[in-house]
């Protein structure tokens, strides 16, 4: 009997001492948490994508709460509703977010271009790119191994016919794929754009023609015919200045290789909703 009492008492006393020490420690060394910060953090989607320019959602919430950051619209994945919630927490007026989407500037799938080797190395675009510029006969095109697929937090990218495709309804415009692509084929644009150049080949027309029937051959038809001079030639490749574009669709109609394509991201967004 005595043994049991002693056992119970000693375990209880040890437990109590531990509890008291922990209680004191948690009081003395409590880390002050800004209430606003945790509220803002609740509003954010928590994908930690870094599109806001901060190290994850925690970083953005901390910057907003401390007043370092005043723009509530930087969370692109969260879009308008998140911006409105953050604005409500901070007590400022809500602004609209322009949704963004990732655009892949290559449509050189297996129908229009060829592989120049049978690559069996490390399973990553970055590694393949280091090996003679990758598998494709076009040195600028999509390698199709899918570094972008691996980093996409929304599973919005898939590999079809040997190149990456973005499902714009799932894309949140975080730009992680743009950073992962070793060929720099992906850019993040406002989803209001209506045309896109789906080629990144800077070679002269004849060379481009040899490796891909879809590529930009630098004919300058679009440059000459654009009513607002929004298209320029950047080293044998058409480049659209979206700040000038009036969405007339002339370039899309005229392009002989079909490399300038119509884009309807807004439509995709609306459909999703």
Partner 1 sequence: MSFKALIVILLSGVLVNNYVLRQFLGICPFLGVSKELKNATGMSIAVIFVMLLATAVTWPIQTFLLTPNGLDYLQTVVFILVIAALVQLVEIVLKKYIPALYRALGVYLPLITTNCAVLGVTIANIDKSYTFVEALFNALGSGLGFFLAMVLFAGVRGQIESSDPPESFKGLPITLVAAAILSLSFFGFNGVVENLFG
CB 156 within 8 A of CB 269: no
Contact range with partner 1 by CB under 8 A, out of 20-28, 104-112, 137-145, 169-177: 20-28
* Closest distance to partner 1 from the beta carbon of 21 (Å): 7
Counting contacts by CB under 8 A, is residue 15 touching partner 1?
A: yes
Applying CB under 8 A, which of residues 10, 38, 235, 270 lies at the interface with partner 1?
A: 10
User: Measured between alpha carbons, how far is residue 173 from residues 102, 166, 187, 243 in Å?
Assistant: 6, 11, 9, 19
Among 1, 3, 155, 273, binds partner 1 (CB under 8 A): 3
Q: What is the distance between the alpha carbons of residues 54 and 4, in angstroms, rounded to a whole number?
A: 58
Window contacting partner 1 (CB under 8 A); options: 29-37, 86-94, 216-224, 251-259: 29-37
Smallest separation, CB 157 to partner 1 (Å): 21
Beta bridge partners of 189: 101
What are 239's strand-pairing partners?
Answer: 232
Distances (CA, A) of 216 to 181, 229, 234, 242: 20, 18, 11, 18
Is the Cβ of residue 110 or residue 122 nearer to partner 1 in the bound state? 122
Q: What is the DSSP letter of 46?
A: -
Rounded to a whole number of angstroms, the distance between the first and last alpha carbons of the chain is 71
In the list 46, 53, 121, 267, the residue contacting partner 1 (rule: CB under 8 A) is: 121
Cα-only R_g, the chain: 27
Q: Which range touches partner 1 (CB under 8 A), out of 100-108, 119-127, 159-167, 176-184?
A: 119-127
The answer to whether residue 88 forms part of the interface with partner 1 (CB under 8 A) is: no
Cα gap 112→89, rounded to integer Å: 52
Stretch that binds partner 1, among 18-26, 80-88, 148-156, 185-193 (CB under 8 A): 18-26
From the list 80, 51, 52, the residue with the least C-alpha distance to 273 is 80
| Dihedral pair phi/psi, residue 85, rounded to 5° | -65, -45
What distance in Å separates the CA atoms of residue 4 and residue 45, rounded to the nearest whole number?
54
Nearer to partner 1, 22 or 272 (CB): 22
Q: Rounded to 5, what percent of the chain is helix, strand, coil?
A: 35, 10, 50
Considering only residues 146 to 185 of the shown chain, the ones binding partner 1 according to CB under 8 A are none
The pair phi, psi for residue 54, each rounded to 5°, is -110, 165
33 is a site residue for partner 1 (CB under 8 A): no
Question: Of these, 35, 123, 160, 241, which contacts partner 1 (CB under 8 A)?
Answer: 123
| Nearest-approach distance from CB 53 to partner 1, in angstroms | 19
Binds partner 1 (CB under 8 A): choice among 110, 122, 130, 272: 122
Part of the chain binding partner 1 (CB under 8 A), chosen from 102-110, 121-129, 159-167, 245-253? 121-129
Instruction: Give the residues lining the site for partner 1 (CB under 8 A).
Output: 3, 6-7, 10-11, 14-15, 18-19, 21-22, 25-26, 29-31, 121-123
């Amino acid at each position: 009997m005595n043994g049991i009492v002693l056992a119970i008492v000693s375990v209880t006393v040890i437990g109590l001492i531990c509890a008291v020490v922990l209680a004191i420690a948690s009081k003395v060394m409590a880390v002050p948490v800004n209430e606003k910060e945790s509220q803002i953090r609740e509003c954010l989607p928590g994908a930690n994508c870094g599109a806001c320019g901060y190290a994850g959602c925690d970083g953005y919430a901390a910057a907003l709460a401390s007043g370092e950051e005043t723009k509530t619209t930087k969370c692109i994945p969260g879009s308008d509703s998140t911006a409105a919630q953050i604005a409500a927490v901070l007590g400022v007026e809500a602004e609209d977010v322009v949704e963004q989407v990732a655009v892949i500037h290559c449509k050189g799938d297996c129908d229009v271009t060829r592989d120049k080797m049978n690559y069996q190395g490390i399973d990553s675009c970055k590694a393949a790119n280091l090996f003679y510029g990758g598998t494709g006969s076009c040195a600028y095109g999509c390698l199709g191994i899918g570094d972008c697929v691996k980093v996409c937090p929304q599973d919005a990218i898939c590999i079809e016919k040997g190149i990456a495709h973005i499902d714009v309804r799932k894309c949140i415009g975080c730009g992680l794929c743009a950073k992962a692509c070793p060929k720099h084929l992906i850019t993040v644009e406002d989803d209001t754009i209506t045309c896109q150049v789906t080629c990144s080949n800077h070679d002269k027309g004849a060379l481009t023609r040899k490796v891909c029937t879809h590529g930009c051959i630098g004919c300058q038809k679009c440059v000459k015919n654009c009513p607002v001079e929004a298209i320029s030639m950047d080293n044998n490749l058409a480049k659209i200045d979206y700040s000038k574009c009036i969405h007339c669709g002339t370039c899309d109609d005229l392009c002989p290789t079909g490399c300038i394509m119509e884009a309807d991201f807004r439509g995709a967004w609306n459909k999703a909703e």
